Chain A
Amino acid sequence: SQTIHQWPATLVQPVGSPLSLECTVEGTSNPNLYWYRQAAGRGLQLLFYSVGIGQISSEVPQNLSASRPQDRQFILSSKKLLLSDSGFYLCAWSTLYDTGELFFGEGSRLTVL
């Protein structure tokens, strides 16, 4: 069966520090991968999605970037964190030729101080 792992689960970082959140999917090949951010009262905001290695689409201009160095690995990064980057980050995957259903990881809680 397919599984998705995100880490770290919790992160507290000072303003201006770098960020790296990692997401790995197991049990499937060629998944579509997504990063969403969830802020209180604002629902889920799509940040990035990827349909293949090295292919990244950005939905919202911001302080963050994403990379997909391997088929089932998706990384969210920042060179210098802002206070506004605080939130709950969710990685998700979907199959390449399926009906769009997303499968979510457990999330990473980022607090920027």
Chain B
Amino acid sequence: AQSVTQPDIHITVSEGASLELRCNYSYGATPYLFWYVQSPGQGLQLLLKYFSGDTLVQGIKGFEAEFKRSQSSFNLRKPSVHWSDAAEYFCAVGARQAGTALIFGKGTTLSVSS
């Protein structure tokens, strides 16, 4: 069955420290991969996406993610976290087929301490 696992429910990082949020997926073929961010009470905003090509993708707000096929992972990273990065982060996978819905992980809540 297709699934997305975000092993960390909640992470606390000091402001200025580096961040890595983990995402593992189970899918029949290489899917499209996405990271979204959600601030409290808001909708989801796309941070970055991987379709093909370079396995290291850059996104908005200084985030990047690396696709590792051998590990079925798509981890999100940021070298220096800002207090405004505190939010919930969702990894998602989608089929390479128009009209199909994305499958989301359960999310990781990021807290930033000063």
Residues of A within 8 A of B (CB): 32, 34, 36, 41-44, 46, 49, 51, 59, 90, 92, 94-107, 109
The total of Cβ contacts below 8 Å across the A-B interface reads 68
Q: Is the CB–CB distance between B43 and A99 below 8 Å? A: no
CB contacts under 8 Å to A, within B62-107, are 90, 92, 94-107
Residues on A with C-beta less than 8 A from B98 are 32, 94-98, 100
Q: Is the CB–CB distance between B106 and A101 below 8 Å? A: no
Residues of B within 8 A of A (CB): 9, 32, 34, 36, 41-46, 49, 51, 90, 92, 94-107
- Asked if A34 meets B106 with Cβ closer than 8 Å, knowing A90-B43, A100-B94, A101-B49, the reply is no
- Asked if A43 meets B104 with Cβ closer than 8 Å, knowing A99-B32, A107-B42, the reply is yes
**B25 CB → nearest A CB, Å:** 13
Residues on A with C-beta less than 8 A from B97 are 100
Q: Which of B34, B90, B99, B103 touches A96 (beta carbons < 8 Å)?
A: B99
Residues on B with C-beta less than 8 A from A46 are 101-103
Residues on A with C-beta less than 8 A from B43 are 90, 104-107
Q: Which of B42, B99, B104 has the most CB of A within 10 A?
A: B99
